[in-house]
Structure 1
């Protein structure tokens, strides 16, 4: 099909009816498996309250956007019981809003003609200063455009299909060899290389998702240099679509969550199960050695609608961990040890067992000697604390704070970048929630979340101690 002015938007269904989500390999915590949507976005099983909270913060408190994992919308994914891998499939016919957003983006770009250079706003570290609402919203809008493009442009779809088919073929080989197929299904770590994208963008035969033996031929009749084609962006598709080559193995916690969910789904009798996911920013994008620390914040982790049993359980976990005194505990950690050239993983059970000194030692271990991150981190934590203090009537119960840096970055303060992001909002409360329905209401409902602020204060104190001790040691 040749594109015309009347039909200028590319339809992803011309390449494939849908695609599978791949397990996310950098998941350090949580109770459900995350999946990778593209090089810039991941999917997490949806909870209504969390989705609504993301939307509420976006519209009412854009000053918090630099500290969030950007929310990009909802997605319907289908599990097929007859497929060994049990990977959720995004079927385009079941995701009309995704296609509407794509076509709207393409149409906007078509109306504007040749696009200007994409702004560098996505690379700006907004957490180190106080951007105004317009700047925050501009970054959010630009990120949403880029993420959508990297899911649905032709090169990205073909790249995904090749990757999936390679994984499925390897699964089939393992099955023939009577090997544990689930092990590979969980990992799906097939490195991409330049040869995987050789050949024309169109008029090529590509493998169908879900069956490596079936093929389809795209009915698009547009060459690589055809100027009549209108996509959302006209910059180099290959570089923007390619999934990041990461120097990381699969985190065992993410593998465990995937396997647990797969076994649970296999107990159901339905041939197809549809689950809803929220689409979020992949905070490990463009990081070769992702070092991730998941910190459970606050000293109350049961929600306003929790059962009495859940309340007692959460209070016990809080009292018997650093959450009670410090307002924070470690829920998961992934660190690249540069001298040993390997990753080290810790799960939430390790975090439960730590006393105050052990907590501090693990914060130092997380940085692996890259203590030049600390001044930047302290500045960001201080700014986040000032924002949280201004949010009267909010509660961030059971939410986490993620710290992320690249373990392969040069050991120079000029190159240090450590990210601070709030995640997990399923039990959070906003001032507009109907408190008359709460089973366990807030204390001081007109004030800020003091438990969360305690957690940030403890982090600032511990990281400051670590940095000062390091300076004293170097001075001796």
Structure 2
């Protein structure tokens, strides 16, 4: 297995497994969420799930203790159809910890939410990779960009990902997908704490591949019992993301 070159956020190294498939170190919580989601509408907005394989600890240091992972979750490689994939990983929701969080982790994540755009907008840009066809190279931005933004300037982060030369049709597709995800999530009891939306579009004008939006990263996600209602923090974030993209569309008309 080799490292995935287009990872823009996250601590855990994603690796190639075979054509069209990636493997991501995961906990039993994430595996359970993927398996339960297979019978829901959210399945359409998640990477295709191919089960799990045994986890082998990498040689390099990791932020997680080795015992936290026992498996890799095998998923669809969302960027494979693209030649020059432009990618944004945007964390959604106001709560950044799962049900299993310790008191210390809960306190730390609440502080982080309060001091970034997560708490105020339900959004935080975790990573961006954009291809500049004129220069012929990629530009990447890590989580420090998102942490430097405020509710008033978060739209500037989106402008980095969606510069004015990007066709308005790309923004239209992204917006329509986000609205559809928002609708399906509003009818679900899923709690996607600290999960992200992944936005993708093709950076090369020589290749016709449509934009995509997917929900990713479910290490702290779970389903509540029927009747519990939706994840209001995630809906809040998606509403704000839709509003920001609507504003970008209006600016370009």
SS at structure 2 position matched to 1:287: coil
- State how far apart, in whole Å, the 1-side matches of 2:181 and 2:138 are: 29
Choose from 10, 14, 17 the match for 1:30. Answer: 10
Asked if the contact 1:302/1:397 (under 8 Å) is kept, the reply is yes
- State how far apart, in whole Å, the 1-side matches of 2:61 and 2:89 are: 20
Choose from 148, 151, 156 the match for 1:356. Answer: 151
Asked if the contact 1:290/1:404 (under 8 Å) is kept, the reply is yes
Asked if the contact 1:409/1:416 (under 8 Å) is kept, the reply is no
Match for residue 394 of structure 1?
A: 190
Choose from 145, 168, 176 the match for 1:379. Answer: 176
The Cα of 1:349 is off from its aligned counterpart by 2.0
Choose from 86, 103, 106 the match for 1:311. Answer: 106
The Cα of 1:352 is off from its aligned counterpart by 1.1
- State how far apart, in whole Å, the 2-side matches of 1:339 and 1:357 are: 30
Match for residue 46 of structure 1?
A: 26
Asked if the contact 1:335/1:345 (under 8 Å) is kept, the reply is yes
Deviations 1:152-173 (A, max 9, x none): xxxxxxxxxxxxxxxxxxxxxx
- State how far apart, in whole Å, the 2-side matches of 1:454 and 1:379 are: 17
Match for residue 13 of structure 1?
A: none
Note if 1:469 corresponds to 2:248.
Answer: no
- State how far apart, in whole Å, the 1-side matches of 2:30 and 2:111 are: 25
Whichever of the two has the greater Rg, that structure is 1
Asked if the contact 1:372/1:416 (under 8 Å) is kept, the reply is no
Note if 1:427 corresponds to 2:224.
Answer: no
SS at structure 2 position matched to 1:66: helix
C-alpha distance 261-384 of structure 1, shift in aligned 2 (>3 A): same
Give the TM-score of the pair, scaled to structure 1.
0.49
Match for residue 260 of structure 1?
A: 61
Note if 1:56 corresponds to 2:49.
Answer: no
**How many residue pairs get matched?**
248
Choose from 281, 284, 294 the match for 2:76. Answer: 281
Give matches, 1:414-453, under 5 Å.
417-432=210-225, 446-453=228-235
Unaligned runs of 5+ in 2: none
- State how far apart, in whole Å, the 1-side matches of 2:97 and 2:44 are: 26
- State how far apart, in whole Å, the 2-side matches of 1:367 and 1:341 are: 17
Answer 1 or 2: which has greater helix percent: 1
Note if 1:332 corresponds to 2:127.
Answer: yes
- State how far apart, in whole Å, the 2-side matches of 1:367 and 1:349 are: 18
- State how far apart, in whole Å, the 2-side matches of 1:46 and 1:374 are: 32
C-alpha distance 55-31 of structure 1, shift in aligned 2 (>3 A): same
SS at structure 2 position matched to 1:69: coil
C-alpha distance 77-307 of structure 1, shift in aligned 2 (>3 A): closer
Answer 1 or 2: which has greater strand percent: 2
The Cα of 1:416 is off from its aligned counterpart by 6.4
* Regions of 4+ moved over 6 Å: none
- State how far apart, in whole Å, the 2-side matches of 1:355 and 1:339 are: 30
Asked if the contact 2:54/2:72 (under 8 Å) is kept, the reply is yes
The Cα of 1:367 is off from its aligned counterpart by 1.8
- State how far apart, in whole Å, the 2-side matches of 1:285 and 1:330 are: 22
SS at structure 2 position matched to 1:372: helix
- State how far apart, in whole Å, the 2-side matches of 1:283 and 1:74 are: 17
The Cα of 1:387 is off from its aligned counterpart by 0.4
The Cα of 1:456 is off from its aligned counterpart by 0.8
Note if 1:367 corresponds to 2:149.
Answer: no
